[in-house]
Structure 1
């Protein structure tokens, strides 16, 4: 396997690309790596505007797939459309939803949508694309966006932190299975990011950019892409987030859950 993942003049698929971290990752791939970008999200207008921006500013190719990754049929279609007439070399699975509030008040349909988006679609797409890379003997790469919440039980984000714990464990295990076949899997676990997702969840009223562990989407994207091209298997950006991840290994989980509850309580 090459030590570095080469994205220049190659196609990278990015889910959740219409805003926030996904949008900044797409921009960074085009601007800093000279890579072609295949944008996936639900909002066509946002995707098409971003695709035009990347083409005109950076001279790369950019295409869109409009899809809702909480729908299994859309997940299958993303893979089919992405691989028709394109040699996809890298995949960034960033799409995700959250919920901030009491677990007992989370609507069941909303939980199912979170599970389908954060877990099921990510497992399905990573399986399809990893198999695609192995069969074609291309030394491709996968980036799974998790969270520091994967390491700590997070009261008032109980379902969300559970989905991210699954993805972190799954991604690190998958990395070991496919590395001998030339495919890299990177799990990226940021802390809070000042994005539209934070606004929609209501957490922006509590946490602001510059607060403990919070990063801008642009700064976070730079960390993620650096880890991805270097084929790191786990990356936690920022000293504060790295300290939290270390604390999760050293301190009792019950204690961490209590302290987190005091900070996150609505």
Structure 2
């Protein structure tokens, strides 16, 4: 499938859009592509402020759906509301949560919420929208935001890296199944991004924008949108991140995990 996606005057849904990478991708769609944006996240005030910004500054249509994607009923509602009054052409599944610390100290309810947000909601929404695209003859696209952590076992982010490994494998497999149906699936796997997520994980003091492999949200969003529009099946932005994913294929996984543990160990 070589034909580029056209987002101008079409609706693209972006989850996790109240901050960070999701917010910057929504801005990029409106500013650089002239596309309409449907943003999804938990914080209504931030979503409404973003929609007003996109409408007034870039002259596009923008709407929001307030939802917690760790809740199955909210996931179903997002699809229903998104497709009720508009034709969605693109879907960017970016919402995610992380945890930095010893795996044994991760609260079970927090792990379940991570699994529901990072994995279950992505599988459910990608299935619903892909089926919708096929049934309506929409030659649209899906993008699943994964991570370099999906290629490397990451001690002290064990659960997070496990969820991203699933998304990388699932997304690449789904891309092959959808190729002959006219729907593209892109897995985007960035490294560190200087966002609110990094701050919440407690890693912002260690990894900052400008450090090797760490991008600003705006720079990362530009890479992501380029991959999405060109319908790439897998995109890893940045030379260092690309080198890490290559090393993950060539070097023993135990060695990679050991070196990563030394970098992420909390008492370092």
Shorter-chain-normalised TM-score: which range?
over 0.9
Match of 1:113 in 2: 113
Which residue of structure 2 lines up, in the alignment, with residue 81 of structure 1?
Answer: 81
Alignment match, 2:29? 29
Give, in whole Å, the separation in 2 of the partners of 1:104 and 1:210. 32
Kindly state the Cα deviation for residue 3 of structure 1 after the two structures are TM-superposed: 1.2
Give the alignment's TM-score, normalised by structure 2: 0.99
Task: Give the 3 Å change call, closer, same or farther, for CA 236–175 of structure 1 in structure 2.
Answer: same
Query: Is the deviation greater in 209-218 or in 141-150?
Result: 209-218
| Secondary structure class of the residue paired with 2:45 | helix
Q: Specify the SS of the correspondent of 2:65.
A: strand
Q: Contact between 1:2 and 1:139, CA under 8 Å: does it hold in 2?
A: no
Shift of 1:151: 0.4
Partner of 1:137: 137
The whole-number CA distance in structure 1 between the counterparts of 2:62 and 2:185 is 23
Structure 1 consecutive aligned stretches of length 4 or more whose deviation exceeds 6 Å: none
Q: Secondary structure at the match of 1:95?
A: coil
Once the two structures are superposed, residues 212-264 of structure 1 have per-residue CA deviations (whole angstroms, 9 ceiling, x without a partner) of 20000000000000000000000000000000000000000000000000000
The whole-number CA distance in structure 1 between the counterparts of 2:81 and 2:136 is 17
5+ residue gaps, structure 1: none
Q: Which residue of 1 aligns with 2:253?
A: 253
Answer yes or no: is the 8 Å Cα contact 2:2–2:231 preserved in 1. no
How many aligned positions are there? Answer: 266
CA contact (8 A) 1:186 1:228 kept: yes
User: Could you report, residue by residue, the CA deviation over 1:135-174 in whole angstroms, capped at 9, with x for unpaired residues?
Assistant: 0111000000000000000000000000000000000000
CA 234–248 in structure 1, closer or farther in 2 if over 3 Å, else same: same
Is the Cα contact below 8 Å between 2:149 and 2:164 reproduced in 1? Answer: yes
Which TM-score applies when normalising by structure 1?
Answer: 0.99
**Cα RMSD, aligned residues only:** 0.6
Q: What whole-Å deviation, never above 9, does each CA across 1:51-105 have from its counterpart, x for those lacking one?
A: 0000000000000000000000000000000001100000000000000000000
Return the alpha-carbon distance in structure 1 between the equivalents of residues 96 and 202 of structure 2: 16
* Counterpart secondary structure, 1:226: helix
